[in-house]
Amino acid sequence: MKIKKRAIYRSIMLLFLFIFGFSSNVIANEYQNGIKINDELIWNCHLCDDKKMDALFGESWNDAGIFENLSVNRKMKWSVNMVEENSTSLSALISIWKWGFEDNWGPQDNNSKFSYLKNPSLYPSGFNFTNMFPFIPFWLPVPIGEYLGEVPLGEIYDVDNRVLPTLNVRINKDSIHPNEPAETVYIIAVYNSKGILSSFKLYTSGNVVVVDISLESLQIIVIISTIGLVLAFVCTIVLYIKKKRIN
């Protein structure tokens, strides 16, 4: 009887572990929007070799799309107006200010809606996020590492989740049109925990960087400034107390 009871207990425990493991996988694969309404995102262009880009992609490479008007020292801003979620998709409506020099942004240039499938495995095999330059999204669902790992991406992409979620892209010479690009180019796109593009680098063979863009970390600056003010305030109080004791 004891042996039978032990066998029953073991069976129950195995069944429990199986159910728990299955539930954990389901929970882990529940993708969602990492951005929220009223989020403001600003990207800075630290380097853009216009002549090299013209040679690689033709002179109209920055006439339209997400890189319209891109040039060194310019900024692009996004403001999240709405986020939506249903049983099959995740989406966001975003106001976009094109690349420019001014910090006084004025009215937005356009509104765009970005949508993704909730189940990334439903994308067709060999999927490309876009067939237009820069070939990578500026925002993705979270957890982004798992999401990228499940999308059946095309051969131009390689996902690296060892440190930070990263998309490596290789665009072979003449793969878009004849002489476009004029030589093989590479892209490294790094994302943060919210699924937002935090760093973009386009380079050619020999690791020659042609375009370098990064997300402006306004929140980090504010946090550092706040900590500095608090420390200064504490130091002032400590010095005041010591002075009082001495007197």
Mean pLDDT of 210-226: 67
* Tens-digit pLDDT profile for residues 104-123: 898 999 999 999 999 999 99
**Mean predicted confidence (pLDDT) in 218-243:** 46
Cα 82–86–91 angle (5° rounding)?
35
For 187-201, how does the pLDDT look when each residue is reduced to its tens digit (9 = 90+)? 999 999 999 999 999
pLDDT digits (tens, 9 = 90+) for 61-83: 999 889 999 999 999 999 999 99
Q: What is the fold, at CATH topology level, of the domain defined by 31-216?
A: YmcC-like fold (2.40.360)
User: Is pLDDT of 101 > 80?
Assistant: yes
Distance of alpha carbon 154 from alpha carbon 209, whole angstroms:
24
Longest CA pairwise span in the chain (Å): 85
The pLDDT score that the predictor gives to residue 226 is 37
Report domain extents, the chain.
1-30, 31-216, 221-247
Phi, psi of 153 (to 5 degrees): -70, 155
